[in-house]
Amino acid sequence: MSNLFNEIDEDLRQDKLKTLWNKYRAAVFTFVIVITLGLTSSEFYQYWSTSKEKNSGLIFSEIIDNIIQGDIQLAQDNIDKLSNEGTKNYKSYALVLKSDLLLSQGNLIEVEKIYDEIIDTTNNSLLKNLAILKLSYIKVDNYSFDQMKQELGDLLGDKTLGLFAHEILAMSAYKNEVYDKGIASLEIILSDERTTNSMFDRAQMMLKVLSSKI
């Protein structure tokens, strides 16, 4: 375990916070998929009687299967299909999934454009907040702590995404050498009963690193 702490600390010292994010990205990506599926479930059944909505939901389910099975090309094809044929909300869901595929390919410029589009166009508040959260992950290396806190805004108190927002804020605190503020966010994560085991482990690791700087 000490070797893992040393590895993480070395990454952070070299200002490579995204390396830390990539180590746990798969777990968070799974969370994103679950949230998106939750968003669609009520819509899927509410409008089951209309063929367009039913078709959109089926295509979306196929995309999830494609991603789980690692068939990225087919997932991309179905995302494009959903973007063209889906209902308004499903088109937004397609953009979320497309952004994750582009992020895995390192295409940050296009990813930022997609998140900005979602933020500007969607009427779904949870999707909008999700886009803000994910955009903040990308910008953590470039924003000051105050900029990041302002970017996250009300998300820090959000019941669904608030803990993830504090995780980003803790990363920003390390980057900007305001370690006590990062520790404050990590303590919120560690004391919250909704914190998952994987997030709890990440928070403990980050807390060890930040505490060593004080």
Summarised one tens digit per residue, pLDDT across range 47-82 is 443 555 667 778 877 887 777 777 878 888 888 888
pLDDT tops 70 at residue 18: no
Q: 3-class SS at 41?
A: helix
Please write the tens of the pLDDT for every residue from 108-163: 888 888 888 888 888 888 888 888 988 888 888 899 999 999 999 989 998 888 99
Residue type, 79: I
Cα distances (Å, whole numbers) of residue 197 to 94, 136, 160, 162 = 29, 23, 16, 16
pLDDT confidence of residue 4: 45
Entry field: residues in the chain: 214
- pTM value? 0.69
Domains of the chain listed by start with CATH number: 2-211 (1.25.40)
